[in-house]
Structure formats: structure tokens, C-alpha cells
Amino acid sequence: MSLSKLHSALGALIVALAVLAASPAAFAGTKDYTVTAPDGVVLAVQEAGDPDGAPIIFVHGLLGSRLNWTKQLHDPRFQHYRLITYDLRGHGRSGKPTEADSYTDGRRWADDLATIIESTHAHKPVLVGWSLGGAVISNYLAAYGDSGIAGAVYVDGVIELKPDQIVAHPEVYRDMIASDLKTHLDGERAFLRLCFYRQPDAATFSLLLANAALASWDMQRAVQSMTVDAAEGLGKADVPLLLIYGAQDALVKAKPSIARAKSLNPRIQSKLYAASGHAPFLEEPDRFNRDLSDFIRSAVSR
């Protein structure tokens, strides 16, 4: 594909994403607003479901946005909960600072999540974090403890950014931060393909690619060095914790990550989906939503 055609295709994807996000029919009954983190980064927030229900906060992964959680937000099993999503710093419609330490310092991401909880007045939310979102939750637990939440679910979550837990894809990560636009986009496309054992339909993949195109290049360069305090965060947590991983994950090593988490906290429960990759909530949404629903019901009733 020529560079001009690639630009046109990318433009069409971003327009489609903007139309979808703006369409009242697409997200009927939702509320959009922003909050500001302690370091001044503006975070885009969305709410759906029952505003009086028990709160669930969804934290997406690298190159994503709150739109990643559509199959959960639209599931009837969750409509009696207060469903809160937000775009991580450097992603989606949230602020995109240029300083590297805005992304390498794990405490910044923890403060963002704390700001969401405080600003939304979410009482004892259940946290659900995918991939990078798992690291955000660990850093939150390390900085703020678990007294303010009911429980947490890690979905193919990053426990630590260490070689024994992360699959090496040096060429992909190199291309993702390339200054050449085509190389950069090819790298992001390759990364997204690696997210799935069961590849998504064309419309879903196009939306994911549009999400990726909105992500900050500065963030992508710096986030690979993000600090993750899993030992402090997971190690001292007393609330229910569930790990759901795809056995075919090509980005995070599922069994070593689960083993490391359980070595830090033997009370952690885990589920391994044999036929899913890095995104079981999209690859096997019915099974995932059933397991998530069971966990939430148990956690909020404690």
C-alpha cells in the first residue's frame, strides 16, 4: 500500500471512530466528562449502566481506549452496575504529556486511577485491568492500599516488565516507536495482531487500529520502562483478586505471570482460557463475562 493510501485509510478509521464515539445511538445512556490528575493530565471518563449500582472501573491496555470494553458495557449481566471507563494517559481522548517521566513513573498511573475513584465518588469499586491496566492496578495498590476497593481482576495483566514474564518482540516494539509513519503503523498493526489467538473481525480490528493511531508516540517510547511495584501492591492485598489469562497469549507469558503473582499473594485465584490469546474478553466474551459477573457478585457482597 502506498503511503498516500495508508494516510487515507487511517484518516477514514479515525473519522469512523469519532462518529462512533459521538453517536447517541452507539452509547445510549452514557455520560462523558473529564477529570484532572495531580500532575495536570486531563483524563477522559465515561459512565454507563445504573448510576446507583455498585461501581466497576475498567482499565484498558497499551494502545487501547475505553472503547475496548464494548462487549462488557453492552452485556445485560452488567447493566445493574455502574460502569466506569477511562482513557489512560497518552491514549484516546486523555491528555498526552511529552515528558518521559509522565509515563515511566508508575506512581503517575496509580494517581490517575485514584483520581478516577475519588472524582467519581465510586464506593468500593471492582477494578478490571487488561494488560498494562494490570500494572496500573498493582501500582495503585502499592500507593493507596486496598481499603478503597472491593476486588480486582487482572486480564492477561502485566505483573512485572521482566523477560521471564514478557514475550520478546524486539522488532515490533522497535517499529512501534519509529519516526517513519508507515513503519510506525505497521508496528502497531503487528502488535495488535499479536493480541489475538482468535483474530477479530475486520470492523473490530479497524477500531483497534484507530485506537492505536490515537496513542502518544512519547508514551509508547517511555512506557516500556514504566516502574511496576507488584511486590508491594499484590503482596499486601487482602481483597479478592482474580487473574484471567489466555493460554495462547503471545505478549505476556501466562503461566509464569500467574506463578509470580501467586508467589507474592497465595490467595490469588486464577483462570486459564486454553483457546484465547492476550484478549480473552474479546476472544471469548460470553465465557469471560460470565466469570467476571460471578467474581463481581462475590466481591461486592463481602
CA pair distance 97, 94, nearest whole angstrom: 10
CA pair distance 161, 144, nearest whole angstrom: 21
CA pair distance 13, 208, nearest whole angstrom: 10
The grid cell for 197 is: 489467538
One digit per residue, pLDDT tens: the chain, 302 residues? 444 444 444 444 443 444 344 333 334 478 999 999 999 999 999 999 999 999 999 999 999 999 999 999 999 999 999 999 999 999 999 999 999 999 999 999 999 999 999 999 999 999 999 999 999 999 999 999 999 999 999 999 999 999 999 999 999 999 999 999 999 999 999 999 999 999 999 999 999 999 999 999 999 999 999 999 999 999 999 999 999 999 999 999 999 999 999 999 999 999 999 999 999 999 999 999 999 999 999 999 98
Nearest to 135 by CA among 229, 210, 63, 214: 229
CA pair distance 177, 188, nearest whole angstrom: 9
Nearest to 212 by CA among 27, 17, 30, 6: 17
CA pair distance 99, 72, nearest whole angstrom: 33
Q: Which residues pair with 250 in a beta bridge?
A: none
CA pair distance 105, 139, nearest whole angstrom: 10
- Place domain 30-300 in its CATH homologous superfamily: Alpha/Beta hydrolase fold, catalytic domain (3.40.50.1820)
Question: Are the CB atoms for 184 and 178 separated by under 8 Å?
Answer: yes
CA pair distance 209, 206, nearest whole angstrom: 5
Using the structure block, give the residue that is written with the C-alpha cell 495488535.
Answer: 192
CA distances from 38 to 47, 103, 236 (A): 21, 14, 25
Question: Where in the chain are the domains?
Answer: 30-300
This prediction's pTM: 0.90
